[in-house]
Structure 1
Amino acid sequence: MRYRGMTCRSNAIGADFHIIRVIPGRMDFLRRLKPHHLRLIVRIADTGKLQVAASALAMSQPAASRILTDIEADSGAQLFIRHPKGMEPTQAGTAFVKHARSVLNALDSLESEVGGINMGQAGEVRVGSVTGPAIKCLVPALLEVKRASPKIEPTFAVGPSVDLVRGLEARRFDFVIARLPPDYDSRDFQLLPARSEVISLLVHARHPLAGAKGLTLEALTEFGWVIQERGSPIRQAVETAFAEAGIRPPSNITNSSSMLVVLSLLRESDTVAPVSAEVAGLLTQPPLSADLRVLDLAVPMTVAPYFLIRHRSQQLSRAAETLMRGVLARL
């Protein structure tokens, strides 16, 4: 069998390949082409004048003429027909101009994108957060950054601290807003200012205790609760609050981290749902405000502080740094 640039000799054992010829002239031609060469050809096609094209690119006419001659010699084709009134692309010239425009557009796009990334005005940002600060800090910071730099492409996840820190360690996130689990070495991470999270107890507007003032935890034990699984910060905070008050915790508990499940139970029953104050604030705004209420507790519940966490060995992009500064300003 014969292929372009090589031969293949088959036998009973296998096939031997022998390189016969690599078309050096064409490869040299491609290596010698520079962006300003392509711009010259495109400008000649647009203006029909070599002198005008050369002047627009700040080069002398003899230099432009020499570049055009070299390109035509290397490509083996005449690119322009010279007329007294100007220069007209040949069929080969038309093809050259078409591909030159495509290459130049790609280079311009690359230059713009890299410049934007270097200036923090473009690029991807990957962040994660527990629920409360995602609403209070991350979303507002993200909107502000997007207004100033709409080409920044953020991706963010909301989840439990264990999953977020695991993702940070695996470099799936630039930074996270979370609590550092006890089995992680804090020396591997940079933990920036902490903020405590307040718990709100959500109920339906028809709940018997909706509107009551200064409620004690004892008044809530007879109702069903929907709450995150054991080990979650909110679950721990609720159990601690009942223990410190010397009251047995509620026995009628549904375990779920799904907000859809929480909302369904609140709508259909007298369930009590502990959520972060930021989530409660969002859910009690119109149009949901007519359906949900926050119970007024005599003693507020708080969760262990969360931090903005980044890995010490990971260098942030300018875009990630910009978003991080916006988040820190709101913590």
Structure 2
Amino acid sequence: MGGPLFERHPKGMKGTALGDLCIRHAKVILKEYGALDEDARRITSGQSGRVRVGAVTGPAVGLLMPAIRAVKASAPDVEMTIDVGPSTELVRGLVEGRFDFVIARIPPGYDSRDFRLQPARSEIVSLLVRPEHPLAKHNRIDLSDLSRFEWVVQEIGSPIRQAVEAAFHVKKIATPTRITNSSSLLVVLSLLESTDTIAPQSEEVAKMLAHGPLGTNVVALELADPIMVSPCFIIRNRFGQLPQAAIQLINAVFENL
């Protein structure tokens, strides 16, 4: 430091002015090292850090949100980034490094061997209507009773739409022709509010709308035969290492399966 830090006296060592300056700075350095150690342990244990995850709508509501609440309860400092969208966009984002993992389906054009896939649960389709709908209080409704109504359905090629169309085809019933194409919940709720439109949604979303805090006034039709959607997967890159906070979240997702 360019000069003596201590002076020797009969009763011990005494700091010089330069020594006292070094001691003050050393205390700050040691305090910062302690903070670094604490922050590092919080990140490596999953108590803080960042997680970037995407999901299609049904699993986002039924699987991802309960898992996020569980992680936040034990690690409130973890920063979550959540995107909800179609499988094509989510898997593209995973490949581009924008997500740690996604809950989706493998779209055409992707090789499943490039990913780690772990099955999530299958989705059931609920057909939502307003409580005043002519069929709202009927039991075991057949699909043949539904073709005459207006429908608001996700875009062509979406899994829920494919499942609904397949259910009509299996029973050799003509698919509905009076259709509005939209994946927007705002559009769906607006149409359901004042018309006898039928809106297929995942069961998790239907339960959230009918019984959740949003205060929406919708009910699900009771079908004679359930409509099932192809299952989703928890998808992550095969050769990537997840941060500890993401591992904690993915484990919480598995607990909800």
Q: For 1:208, what is the secondary structure of its paired residue?
A: coil
- Distance in structure 2 (CA, Å) of the matches to 1:283 and 1:233: 20
Q: Find 1:201's aligned residue among 88, 106, 127.
A: 127
- How far off is 1:108 after superposition? 3.9
Which residue is equivalent to 2:9?
Answer: none
Pairing 1:240–2:166 present: yes
Secondary structure class of the residue paired with 2:52: strand
**Cα drift, residue 112 of structure 1:** 2.0
Specify whether residues 290 and 233 from structure 1 end up closer, same or farther in structure 2 by C-alpha distance, changes over 3 A only.
closer
Relative distance call for 1:283 and 1:325 in structure 2 (3 A) is same
Aligned match of 2:50: 124
- TM-score of the superposed pair, with normalisation by structure 2: 0.89
Report the Cα offset of residue 107 of structure 1.
4.2
**Contact (CA 8 Å) 2:209, 2:216: kept in 1 or not?**
no
* 2: CA distance, partners of 1:103 / 1:260: 54
Alignment-derived partner of residue 12 in structure 1: none
Distance 1:288 1:138, change over 3 A: closer
1:205 and 1:290 in contact (8 A); partners too: no
Q: CA deviation at 1:78?
A: 5.1
Structure of greater relative contact order (alpha carbons < 8 Å, 6+ residues apart): 2
Structure 1, residues 278-299: CA drift from partner, whole Å, max 9, x if none? 0001111156667211001111
Query: Quick one: which of 297, 316, 324 aligns to 2:223?
Result: 297
- Is 1:264 equivalent to 2:179 in the alignment? no
Q: Does 1:150 align with 2:76?
A: yes
Quote how far apart the aligned CAs of 1:324 are: 0.5
Q: 2:114 aligns with which of 188, 192, 198?
A: 188
SS of the aligned residue for 1:195 comes to coil
Structure 1's unaligned 5+ residue stretches are: 1-24, 30-40, 42-60, 70-76, 81-92
Cα 1:271/1:104, change in 2 over 3 Å:
farther
Q: TM-score, with normalisation over the residues of structure 1?
A: 0.70
Are 1:275 and 2:201 counterparts? yes
- Cα distance in 1 for partners of 2:146, 2:215 equals 22
Shift in CA distance, 288/156, structure 1 to aligned 2, threshold 3 Å? closer
Task: Note closer, same or farther for the CA distance 1:254–1:106 as it changes in structure 2 (3 Å cut).
Answer: farther
Aligned to 2:233: 307
Structure 2 CA distance for aligned equivalents of residues 119 and 287 of structure 1: 33
Partner of 2:92: 166
Aligned to 2:138: 212
- Ranges in structure 2 where 5+ consecutive residues have no aligned partner: 6-11
| Whole-angstrom CA distance in 2 between matches of 1:223 and 1:164 | 33
Distance 1:126 1:211, change over 3 A: same
- The separation in 1 between residues aligned to 2:28 and 2:63, in whole angstroms, is 42
Name the CA shift for 1:316/1:290 in 2 (closer, same or farther; >3 Å). closer
In structure 2, distance between residues paired with 1:256 and 1:297 = 23
C-alpha distance in 1 between matches for 2:64 and 2:52: 12
Please point out which of 129, 134, 145 is paired with 2:60.
Answer: 134
1:109 matched to 2:47: no
Deviations 1:272-325 (A, max 9, x none): 000000000111115666721100111110101101111111101111111101
Is the contact between residue 126 and residue 206 of structure 2 (CA under 8 Å) also seen in structure 1? yes
| Structure 2 counterpart of 1:176 | 102
Alpha-carbon distance in structure 1 between the residues aligned to 2:191 and 2:31:
55
Once the two structures are overlaid, the 10-residue window that deviates more, 186-195 or 201-210, is 186-195
Cα distance in 1 between the residues matched to 2:100 and 2:78 = 14
Q: Percent identity?
A: 51
